[in-house]
Amino acid sequence: MFQDALRGKIDTVKKRDLLTLQDFSANEIREILEATKRFKEKKPSVEEKNALSGRSVVLLFQKSSTRTRVSFEVAVSQLGGHPIYLGWSESQLGRGETIADTAHVLSRYVDAVVARVYRQADLVEMARYAGIPIINALSDLYHPCQIIADLYTMWEKFGFLEGLKVAYIGDGNNVCNSLLIGCSKMGIDISVACPRGYEPASEALNSAKRNSEENGSKVKILRDPFEAVRDADVVYTDTFVSMGDEAEREERLAVFLPKYQVNAELLKAASEKALFMHCLPAHRNEEVTDEVIDGPHSVVWDEAENRLHTAKAILAKIFIDW
């Protein structure tokens, strides 16, 4: 017992982590989307507006980032808090200090950690030893904050979520895993078209199947992109070569191209008013052509903007409600 206390197992502390979207109920996600709308319309409640007043948040990044880093940094400061960017390799983590020890120490200084890591297991470890909320800013397995912004974008564009059809074309990666969970939670049908061997993680797929059984939505894993986009309201793709996969670049491009590229021909096979979405950064003319990403169906800039409004809503919810 005393040993446990010394090791700092803080399992009695009430805190809310966001490690995967599966941690949140559909209702909680809806509340975050409603709060996002208030932030975007510049009408947050006084409590929401000052949700981080007097608080500090570490942004701990082990991989590159533009959107996630900047949107969270701006979100923290606009909510009255103090963001502290910490590069993994510039911190003592880069020299071997353990995640548990780091989690103990950061918990004594700041109020939350937004962390981008190579391994989801490292986030789980951090959350286990930290007495403060840990927010997943992307791992090998999940990218929940991205998908909250994507759900918001769909809601903003269509006015509803339940009953929409999303087609994800390409690599069954972190973004795809979280999209499966997010869509299935909100009653959106999702079809993933990917090559054999590049399917989404079974953990994510199992969660998505469980969610869809609860609300009657559909989850399909297909090979044929044309079959996936049939009647789709949203066509979504992401890079074929995620951060950490660089050594497999040539092999991956040979597997994915040309079949899994979102181009004008594929988009035409979706619903007439289908939106094109991409978490960005795009690898133009690999997973998506210039014609599509710069074309009239594309909502990628609104989607990127919504990272800021949703970052605020996520932080406000974590600090006000839980």
Stretch 129-168 residues interacting with ligand NVA (CB under 6 A): 138
State yes or no: is 278 an active-site residue: no
Q: Which residues, including other chains, have CB under 8 Å from residue 60's CB and lie 6 or more apart?
A: 86, 88, 91, 93, 113, 114, 115, 116, 117
Nearest to 119 by CA among 145, 147, 140: 140
Beta carbon nearer to ligand NVA, 112 or 149 = 149
State yes or no: is 238 an active-site residue: yes
Report how many residues bind ligand NVA under the rule CB under 6 A.
9
Stretch 131-170 residues interacting with ligand CP (CB under 6 A): 138, 146
123 makes contact with ligand NVA (CB under 6 A): no
Least distance from ligand NVA to the Cβ atom of residue 66, Å: 9
65 makes contact with ligand CP (CB under 6 A): yes
State yes or no: is 146 an active-site residue: yes
189 DSSP β-pair partners: 165
Over its C-alpha atoms, the chain yields an Rg (Å, rounded) of: 19
Least distance from ligand CP to the Cβ atom of residue 156, Å: 17
Which H or E run includes 222?
Answer: strand 219-222
3-state secondary structure of 82: strand
State yes or no: is 233 an active-site residue: no
DSSP annotation string for 106-152: HHHH-SEEEEE-S-HHHHHHHHHH-SS-EEES--SS--HHHHHHHHH
3-state secondary structure of 240: coil
User: Could you tell me how far CA 85 lies from the centroid of its own chain?
Assistant: 19
Pick the catalytic residue: 143, 252, 278, 297?
143
Least distance from ligand CP to the Cβ atom of residue 146, Å: 5
Cα(289)–Cα(268) distance, rounded to whole angstroms?
13
Query: Maximum Cα–Cα distance for the chain, whole Å?
Result: 64
State yes or no: is 95 an active-site residue: no
288 DSSP β-pair partners: 262, 284
Least distance from ligand CP to the Cβ atom of residue 68, Å: 3
286 makes contact with ligand NVA (CB under 6 A): no
Point out which span in 64-72, 124-132, 198-206, 253-261 binds ligand CP (CB under 6 A). Answer: 64-72
Whether 61 and 69 have beta carbons less than 8 Å apart is answered as yes
67 makes contact with ligand CP (CB under 6 A): yes
Near ligand NVA by CB under 6 A: residue from 102, 178, 239, 310: 239
Least distance from ligand CP to the Cβ atom of residue 279, Å: 4
> Which of the listed partners (ligand CP, ligand NVA, none) does 242 bind, with a CB threshold of 5 to 8 Å by partner kind?
ligand NVA
State yes or no: is 116 an active-site residue: yes
Local structure of residue 236 (DSSP, 8 states) = E
> Which of the listed partners (ligand CP, ligand NVA, none) does 239 bind, with a CB threshold of 5 to 8 Å by partner kind?
ligand NVA
Q: Which residues, including other chains, have CB under 8 Å from residue 5's CB and lie 6 or more apart?
A: none
Q: Which residues bind to ligand CP, rule: CB under 6 A?
A: 65-69, 138, 146, 279-281
Q: Which residues bind to ligand NVA, rule: CB under 6 A?
A: 138, 173-175, 238-239, 242-243, 279
